[in-house]
Amino acid sequence: MEVYNHDLIILGTGLAGLRAALEAAQQSKGELDIALVSKLQLMRAHSVAAEGGTAAVMRQDMGDSFELHAWDTVKGSDFLADQDVVDFFVHEMPKEILHLDHWGIPWSRTEDGHIAQRPFGGHTYPRAVFAADKTGHLEMQTLYDTLMKHTKKINRYDEGFVTSILIENNRFAGLTMIDMINGKLVLIRGKALILATGGAGQIFGFTTYSETVTGDGLAMAYRAGLTLKDMEFIQFHPTGLIPSGILMTEACRGEGGTLLNNKDERFMGAYAPSKMELAPRDMVSRSEMTEIEAGRGFPGPEGLDYIHLDLRHLGRKQILERLPLIREVTIKHIGLDPIEKPIPIRPVAHYTMGGVHTDIKGHTPVENIWAAGEVSCVSLHGANRLGSNSTAECLVWGRVAGGEAARYCANASMPEMPKTAEQEWAKIEALIASTGTEDHYQIRKELRKNLDATMGVFRTGEQMEAGLKKIRELKERYKKISLKDKSLRYNTDLERAIETGFMIDVAEVATLGALTRTESRGGHARRDFNVRDDENWLKHTMADYTEAGPKLSYSKVDISMWKPVERKY
C-alpha cells in the first residue's frame, strides 16, 4: 500500500470541487498542498452536463431582488429549505457570476452587452444566467483554466477509485483508493477533506445522470458515520429524452417551448395556470404523469409513454443561438431535428435534494470534513429544487468550503496514521477473491428497475414497502457476488461491484425515509397521503448507519423569514 500526504484533499472534481480547490489555492496564496481526487479524468465530471443556467440576482434595478429569489426558493422547496441558508445563498450568488465573468467565461449577452438571463421554472423573475445551453461545461472549463494558475501545489489523482473515507477520533484520517491506472492500493492522508462527489441518480434506471453518478460519496460518508439528510426527496425533471433519459434542459421551456399531449393541447394550463410550463419541476412532472396515465400521452418503448416538448415555434435562429446542444443531441441520438418536429419526453430522475448533513458553512459534524454541491444537504433545496439553483449552490458552497478548509489547514496538524486502512484493503482483497454465485451486474439492473417502479413521481406506501423489501433482498444477495477480473489495473468489474454496494445503501436510506414520511411535499408525492402535513412533518429526515440498516431521526427546519402557506402557481 502506497501512502500519499497532502494538506487538503478534495474528493470530486465537478463544479463544487473545482471551485473549492480554486478558493483554497487563492486563500493560501498557492502555498496549500491540495489533492484533487476523481474516479474520472478531471474534466469528465457530470457537472459538464448542466445545460440551462445558473440563478443569481443581477437586475435589482429592473425588478429582481434578493428577497424575491429567496421567496421563490423557499416556496419552491415546499417550505422545507432552511431559510437562513437560502438568505445567505441569494446574497452570495451574484458575486460568483461576476467572478466567472472576470475569469473569462463566455456568458450569453444581451444586445447592449449585459449578461443575459432567462426564465426558469418556479422563478418569478428571469434570473438564470447562461452560456447558450452549455452552461455547466463552460463553468467547469473556466474554473479549470483559472485553477491552472495554481498548479505548483495542485496534485491530481485522476481515475482514482476511492473505496472508503476513514474517520478516527471524530477526525478525517484518510481515503483508501485504487489507483486504476497503475493498479495500486493507495492511502491518501490529509489535514482536511472536502467531499464534492455529486448525487446518486444512477440508482434509477431512467435518469439524466452519467453512468458514474452512483452515490459513492454519499454511501462512504454514511458508512463512515456521517448523517444523511432528506434522502427521500428525489427530483424528477419534466423533460427526459425518450428512450435514453438524456436531459432536455429547462432552458427549452425558458426560451418558450411548450408541452403538448396527444390531443395537441398545451395541458399545463389545467395544473399551473399562472406559470404554465415554467411551474416548479415537481409540479410539471406530476402534471405530465397525470396526462400520460389518463391516456393522453403517446405510446413509447418499454412502457416509457411520453408527451411532446415543442420548440418548432421558436424558429431556427433562436434554436441555433440559444439551444444548439439540444438540437445536436436530438439529431445524434434519435434522428430528430427540433426545428422541424416536437421532442418525445417524460419525467426522469434528475437530482438528489438530500445529502450529507452540514451546517450553513458546509461543515459536517466531523472536525475536518466539509461537503459541497449535490453530495451535501445544507438544506438549500428542501423538498424540491428550483432549476438553475444547483450550479449556483456548487459555486457558493464550493467557495465557502474551500475557504473554510484552507483556513483550518493553515493551523492544523496531520491526523495520526489511520488504523482502519488495512481493514478496508482486506475487504477489497476478499471481494476480489470471492467465489459467490451472484452477478453484481444483475443486482444493479434489478435495483434500478425497482427504484423506477416504487420511488417514482408518484408513490404509495404499498409500493415502497415492496421496494424496501426488494432492496434488502438485493443487499443479502450482494454478499454472495464474485468477480471475473481478479487484477487491480483498470479493473472495471471491481469498480462496478463496489459502486453497486454503494447504490444499495443509498437506495435503502432514500426508500425508508420516503416510506416513513406520511405526507406529500415537493418531490415526495404519495397517493395514500396526498397533502402536506406541516404539523407532523415540517422537519428534516436524518439517517445514520447501523449494521441492521438506517436509523432515522428528525431535526428542525429554520423558519426565520416566512411561515408555510399553501403552494400554488
Element (H, E) at 80: none
Q: Give the count of beta carbons closer than 10 Å to the beta carbon of residue 319.
A: 21
CA angle, 353 as apex, 352 and 359 as ends, to 5°? 125
Do residues 400 and 42 lie in contact, with contact meaning Cβ atoms separated by under 8 Å?
Answer: no
Beta-sheet pairing, 369-371 with 355-357: unpaired
* Whether residue 253 lies in the annotated active site: yes
Q: Which of 46, 253, 521, 532 is catalytic?
A: 253
CA distance 159 to 47: 17
Length of the chain: 569
Do residues 55 and 144 lie in contact, with contact meaning Cβ atoms separated by under 8 Å?
Answer: no
Q: Reduced to 3 states, what is the DSSP secondary structure of residue 347?
A: strand
Please give the single-letter amino acid code of residue 561: M
Please give the single-letter amino acid code of residue 473: E
CA angle, 213 as apex, 211 and 218 as ends, to 5°? 155
Please give the single-letter amino acid code of residue 196: A
Q: Is the peptide bond before 324 cis (omega within 30 degrees of 0)?
A: no
The beta-carbon contacts of 484-487 under 8 Å, at least 24 apart in sequence, are 486/432, 486/433, 487/183
CA distance 374 to 432: 31
The beta-carbon contacts of 101-106 under 8 Å, at least 24 apart in sequence, are 103/142, 103/143, 103/145, 103/146, 104/142, 104/145, 104/146, 105/131, 105/138, 105/139, 105/141, 105/142, 106/131, 106/138
Q: Reduced to 3 states, what is the DSSP secondary structure of residue 538?
A: coil
Closest CA to 258 of 309, 307, 306, 297: 309
**Set of cell numbers at residue 568:** 400554488
State the DSSP code for 238: E
Phi, psi (deg, nearest 5) at residue 551: -105, 120
Q: Which of 6, 237, 459, 521 is catalytic?
A: 237
* Whether residue 237 lies in the annotated active site: yes
Beta-sheet pairing, 228-229 with 539-544: antiparallel
Active-site residue set:
237, 253
